Amino acid sequence: MNALDIRTVLREELGNIAPEIDFNSVDPKADLREALDIDSMDVLTFITAIHTRIGLVIPEVDYPKLMTLDGAVTYLSAKLQPR
Amino acid sequence: MAEFRMPSLGADMEAGTLVEWMVKPSDKVKRGDIVAVVETQKGAIEIEIFETGVIEKILVDIGTKVPVGTPLATLRTKVEAEAGVKEPAAPEAPAIMPPPIPKPAEAPPIAAALPEVSPLPGRLRASPAARQLAQAHGLDLTTITGSGAGGAIVLKDVEARLASMPSPPPKKPVIGLDLGAMRAAIAAAMARSKREIPHYYLQHQVDVTGCEAWLAERNAARPPQSRLLLGALAAKAVASALRRFPAFNGFWQNGKFEAAPAVHLGMAIAIRGGGLAAPAIHDADRLSCDELMAAMRDLVQRMRFGRIRSSEIADATITVSSLGERGVEALFGIIYPPQVAIVGFGKVVTRPWVVEGIIQPRSILTVTLSGDHRVSDGHAGALFLVEIDRLLQEPEKL
């Protein structure tokens, strides 16, 4: 899974939570909670969706690393790297 | 014979538009079955029936807007069906529970019928879930071949179509939801509340550092779908505290308070784009924290897709409103009539706190109560908040 695929997954799953958001206008470095107006329940829904979609269990302590689009891409790319 | 009527889904509802029938004449139904979908100011609501029997006749066509109380269908109740009774001998009982709230006296009389849209010709057979999904993705159902009984389009047909499409088309926020109408409904209910309910307000700061530590430890060992949020513990604490403080759980009706036998916790849910609804979690006091959390997630999810049931809209015996991790420290709610209390939770903040004589940073959650002075006083309200605090000090026992 490359960075482009990861971005697509992120857009789709966040799009399910915030359907009216135009991701082209979201600053990739902005805090997603502010940019998308999502709460802790939405964040958990997003983390759960990532687990379902790509099988990765993200621990709670890592949530802050996924709170921007760029951060999430970096985090997921590193986790999904074949070793 | 009994009549199934357009239910009242709150003090502010005067009429609803029938958008879907899930039953047809001669279908068997039992209490609690979802038989129709009605479009209201609160969005599309699944309507449950409160009697068991056989649908006899559909009286209202799809697309028709009718006032609350209008018979929508007739049904033969179980006893009659077994006895082969065809015609009613006595005046019929309404097939649904009577509306929980008497209409405010100043409500204008409603015209007999408010036809808006003519019935759809040659209706397509499709399951409600399939319709919702198709609508959410802007799909035309007539372009999909159904694989269900009688060629009906079922959820997997729509899913298959979506999977075969190159990229998902833009989605709409919440299906069939008119936020302007919802705002009008909120305004009507809140204006009535402020007019009729003598509110008093209390606030209390609760140290939830222990809750947070307990949650972190517990969630670390669990996959995302079984993780708990502080909001679930808070809701559970309210539900449990109500057992000892029944004066905050129930309805003000016909000039007096009636305590509710069960705790149906209304959860205020913000709707994207600027709406608000507070559907109920039934028997919240009897659910474990895990069950309550699952129920909250389910409710938020269904709210988003417009799949709230009639009983969830009309049943709440008290409301809980939480600001979550963003926002401000405290909110003072307005009671949703005919309820008599609303509990508010602000965002958790780190504050210097004195614990056993030592100043330390602690996580502080402000809990508020808006109470109805016709039913309770600040003294009882204060004890109720302290009980919520006490319960939150032992999250493992919630």
Three-class SS of residue B189? helix
Q: Which residues of chain B have a Cβ shorter than 8 Å from any chain A Cβ?
A: 168, 170-173, 216, 219-220, 223-225, 227, 229-231, 270, 272-273, 296-297, 300-301, 324-326
Is residue B293 over pLDDT 80? yes
Q: Which chain A residue's Cα is nearest to B297? A: A41
Residue B89: strand pairing partners: none
Q: CB distance A20–B168 less than 8 Å?
A: no
Closest CA–CA distance from residue A48 to any residue of chain B (Å): 5
What is the structure's pLDDT at A41?
92
CB B299 within 8 A of CB B279: yes
Chain A: residues touching B (Cβ < 8 Å): 12, 15, 18-20, 33-34, 37, 39-41, 44-45, 47-48, 50-52, 57-61
* Amino acid letter for position B357: G
B56-98 per-position pLDDT tens digit:
888 888 888 888 888 888 888 866 555 554 444 444 443 444 4
Q: Testing the interface with B: which of A41, A46, A56 to mutate, by most B Cβ within 10 A?
A: A41
For B211-255, the DSSP string reads HHHHHHHHHHTS-GGG---HHHHHHHHHHHHHHH-GGGSEEEETT
Instruction: Give me B276's structure tokens.
Output: 């608000």
Question: Is residue B338 reached through a cis peptide bond, with omega within 30 degrees of 0 on the bond before it?
Answer: yes
ipTM field:
0.91
DSSP secondary-structure letter at B396?
G
A34 with B326: Cβ contact below 8 A: yes
Query: Cβ contact (<8 Å) for B296 and A33?
Result: no
Residue B313: pLDDT band (50, 70, 90) is confident
Interface contact flag, A20 B173, Cβ < 8 Å: yes
pLDDT of A80 reads 87
Question: Cα separations (Å) of B378 from B61, B265, B288, B369, B390?
Answer: 50, 21, 29, 9, 18
Token pair recorded at residue A56: 């990765």
What CA–CA distance (Å, rounded) separates B358 from A42? Answer: 37
Side chain identity at B219, as an amino acid letter?
Answer: N
The answer to whether the CB of B95 falls within 8 A of the CB of B2 is: yes
Q: How many Å apart are CA B253 and CA B264, to the nearest integer?
A: 17
Instruction: Give residue B176's pLDDT.
Output: 58
Chain B residues with CB under 8 Å of A45 CB are: 297, 300-301
Which candidate, B243, B247, B219, places its Cα nearest to that of B232?
B219
Look at A61 and B326; give whichever has higher pLDDT: A61
The model's pLDDT over B192-233, given as tens digits with 9 standing for 90+, comes to 999 999 999 999 999 999 999 999 999 999 999 999 999 999
Query: What kind of fold does domain A3-19+27-80 have according to CATH?
Result: 1.10.1200
Distance, in Å, from the CA atom of B345 to the CA atom of B366, rounded to the nearest integer, reads 6
Instruction: Please answer whether residues B218 and B398 qualify as being in contact, where contact means their C-beta atoms are separated by less than 8 angstroms.
Output: no
- Is the whole model's pTM more than 0.90, yes or no? no
Element (H, E) at B73: strand B71-77
To probe the interface with A, which of B135, B304, B365 has the most A CB atoms within 10 Å? B304
- The most distant pair of C-alpha atoms in chain A lies apart, rounded to whole Å, by 38
At B39, the pLDDT band (50, 70, 90 cuts) reads confident
Position B384 pLDDT exceeds 60: yes
pLDDT in tens, B113-163: 333 333 333 456 777 677 777 776 667 777 777 777 667 777 777 777 776
Residue A83 distance to chain B (closest CA, Å): 23
* CA atoms of B253 and B245, how far apart (whole Å): 19
Going from the C-alpha of B365 to that of each of A44, B61, B204, B209, B254, the distances in angstroms are: 20, 50, 8, 9, 36
Q: Any idea where the domains of chain A sit in the sequence?
A: 3-19+27-80
